[in-house]
Amino acid sequence: MIFALYSEINDSTIQSNLGRPQYSYYFLLKSFRVVFESLGEVVIIEDPASEVDQLYDDCRSKNQTCLFVCFTPPYLAPTFLRCPTVCLFAWEFSTVPCASWNQNPAHDWRYVFTRHAGVITTSNYTANIVSDVLRSSNETVPVLAIPSPIWDDFAALRGKDPLAHLNSGSTIPVSGFLQDTDAIDFDLGNLLPRYFVTPKLYSIPNPNETTASNGTRNWRARIESTRKHWRNWYDEVFKLQYDSGSVGTRADEQATNQAIESLPLDLSGVVYTTILNPEDGRKCHIDILSAFIWAFRNNSDVTLVMKMLQQDADGYRMTLNHTLHQLYPFKCRVIIFNGYLNAAEYQSLIDASTYYVNTSHCEGLCLPLMEFLSSGKPVIAPDHTAMRDYINEEIAFVIETNKETNVWPHDPTGHYTTERYRNNWETIVRQYLDSYRIATEDQGKYRSMSNAAKQAMAGFCSFESVQRKMQTFVNDVCGL
């Protein structure tokens, strides 16, 4: 059995594409690759149009079965190949597109599904939606709901005391641009953020910035911020891509490239962690930040770590710093950074954390949430969309939500054709406070939640459970 796997982003391009469209499909392919390798031989495809059918014909000549698995949104998956094709994708809204636009029939996902051998989604929520739309069209296509098999990757962390960091503190390596509210000089007379240009840990003010030049520097910062926000708005409205060689972008790239050395960051007390792309409005990162500060404005032993999946720190710095200034004064600590973490550094961040926080409007899977749970770290999160498969009150402090209308993110008409979920902000604050009390006053309850998380995720996303489901699906699709 030959499995041809494809993702638009690969090993050589992932670091430069973090936070950009389709970047998460690289991680899906990477996590599922071991499953397909256990079922047959894997070939990584770079160009489906020129490689897949050639591989398929070669397999047929040797009486071998070949299946092409495309890690991409359905409307970007090829439908013209002779090789049996399966699209593996994540989706988070209450409906799937059933209309075409821009003279492209693939935007009607039924067109794609009925031309493929099967459909794989990362959640039961989406699988049920796909099955319903196919059934309403009198179409029969095999549909599988299956999560990434990530549980086995965190065995080392599951063997550790999940609360060890509360007693001794932790030190984690970080790189890139980092802001630490313990080292920011808040200026309540000017809610615009300071404009940091050097890749210094803790983002302390530029030493070359004298008091006499502050006025000039602030005006320059305002002009530069306005220019960048105008550029981003223009790009979004007209769907354009800017030349990476432009002065502003190239300067950002050079600054980021300088900030590659990992330095130690000390953490103590109760630590809440979140990992997100701030340009993704579904993640509601301002809810995470504002509710945290409001809950712990009088607590100095609590830290929020916000790991940003966006290389250009200027893209989110304006909004976050403005929020920090508006909520000041507060005693809790907020750390925001955007450097790349390798596997060992990432596990050290999990080990140093008490809880993971998710406040998304909707999720197609949420790998970081699953990874923290698999490591034995309880979470604060809603229990809707894909998270409904594994979030419950035994392992999480559940955020209350309500449905609201929304649009498909790639629909140029902007019509309200689907639904997502709106957070009850007060319950985020309440769950912060309840989780803090459990970690500091009822550690037996915390350890019970930790053990429940490990057990729940073992049945949900272990290699063994995922492999078994995938083998059954492949046999069905390929007629084996």
Chain centre to alpha carbon of residue 21: 11
Query: The domain containing residue 333 runs over which residues?
Result: 152-200+259-461
Do residues 90 and 369 make contact, with C-beta atoms less than 8 angstroms apart? no
pLDDT of residue 36: 97
In a domain, 313, yes or no: yes
As a whole number of Å, the end-to-end CA separation of the chain is 10
327 and 443 together in one domain = yes
Those residues whose C-beta lies under 8 Å from the C-beta of residue 476, and which sit 6 or more positions away, are: 118, 142
**pLDDT tens column, 224-268:** 545 544 444 444 444 333 232 222 222 233 333 334 567 788 999
Q: Do strands 178-180 and 333-337 pair parallel, antiparallel, or not at all (unpaired)?
A: antiparallel
Which amino acid is present at 430? Answer: R
181 and 309 together in one domain = yes
In a domain, 227, yes or no: no
In a domain, 106, yes or no: yes
**Residue 335 DSSP symbol:** E
103 and 168 together in one domain = no
In a domain, 252, yes or no: no
pLDDT of residue 341: 85
269 and 408 together in one domain = yes
Rounded-to-integer distance, Cα 101 and Cα 145, Å: 28
Q: Looking at 187-191, 254-258, 421-425, 467-471, which range is the least confident one?
A: 254-258
Rounded-to-integer distance, Cα 136 and Cα 109, Å: 13
- Cα 292 to Cα 285, 304, 318, distances in angstroms: 11, 7, 19
Q: Looking at 202-211, 354-363, 417-426, which range is the least confident one?
A: 202-211
In a domain, 347, yes or no: yes
28 and 172 together in one domain = no
Rounded-to-integer distance, Cα 171 and Cα 326, Å: 30
Rounded to two decimals, the pTM is 0.84
Q: Residue 292: name the closest of 236, 334, 346 by CA.
A: 334
Q: Residue 424: name the closest of 285, 287, 278 by CA.
A: 287
For residue 137, what are its two tokens? 């069209």
CATH of the domain at 274: 3.40.50.2000
In a domain, 133, yes or no: yes
446 and 473 together in one domain = no
Q: How confident is the model at residue 19 (pLDDT cuts 50, 70, 90)?
A: low
56 and 184 together in one domain = no
Average pLDDT over residues 174-197: 65
362 and 473 together in one domain = no
Domains in the chain: how many in total?
2
288 and 354 together in one domain = yes
CATH of the domain at 66: 3.40.50
Torsion of CA 289, 292, 298, 300, to 10 degrees: -80
Rounded-to-integer distance, Cα 260 and Cα 384, Å: 37
Q: Looking at 175-184, 200-209, 322-331, which range is the least confident one?
A: 200-209
In a domain, 442, yes or no: yes
**pLDDT tens column, 68-95:** 999 999 999 999 999 999 999 999 999 9
Q: How confident is the model at residue 409 (pLDDT cuts 50, 70, 90)?
A: confident
17 and 156 together in one domain = no
Mean pLDDT for the chain? 84
In a domain, 404, yes or no: yes
179 and 280 together in one domain = yes
101 and 189 together in one domain = no
Which amino acid is present at 362? Answer: C
pLDDT of residue 479: 85
pLDDT of residue 470: 97
Phi, psi (5° rounding) for residue 422?
-105, 135
| 3-state class (DSSP) for residue 399 | coil
